[in-house]
Amino acid sequence: MARETRIPNATIERIALYVKPLERLLEEGTEVVSSRKLALLCRVRSAQVRKDLSYFGEFGVRGVGYDVRDLLREIRRILGTDQEWRLAIVGLGNMGQALAQNPAFAKRCHRFVAAFDSDPDKIGTTVLPGLIIQPASEIVQVCRAEGVHIGLIAVPSSQAQGVADRLFEAGVKAILNFSPFQVRRPDCCHVENVDFTVSLDNLAYFLGRKGKG
Residue 202 placed within a domain: no
Residue 197 main-chain phi, psi, to 5 deg = -65, -30
- What sign does the CA torsion over 203, 152, 169, 127 have? positive
Q: The domain spanning residue 103 has which CATH number?
A: 3.40.50.720
CA angle 9, 12, 16 (to 5 degrees): 145
Q: Please check whether residues 73 and 95 belong to one and the same domain.
A: no
The last residue of a domain, from among 44, 77, 110: 77
Boundaries of domain holding 36: 9-77
130-166 residue pLDDT tens: 999 999 999 999 999 999 999 999 999 999 999 999 9
Q: Please check whether residues 47 and 151 belong to one and the same domain.
A: no
Residue 32 placed within a domain: yes
- CA dist., res. 174 & res. 59, Å (int): 30
Q: Please check whether residues 71 and 92 belong to one and the same domain.
A: no
Q: Please check whether residues 95 and 193 belong to one and the same domain.
A: yes
Question: Pairing state of beta strands 131-135 and 126-128?
Answer: antiparallel
Q: What is the mean pLDDT of residues 67-90?
A: 93
Residue 205 placed within a domain: no
Q: Please check whether residues 190 and 93 belong to one and the same domain.
A: yes
81-99 residue pLDDT tens: 888 999 999 999 999 999 9
Distance of CA 92 to the CA centre of its chain: 19
Residue 174 placed within a domain: yes
pLDDT of residue 200: 82
Residue 185 placed within a domain: yes
- CA dist., res. 18 & res. 31, Å (int): 15
Q: Please check whether residues 40 and 19 belong to one and the same domain.
A: yes
Residue 213 placed within a domain: no
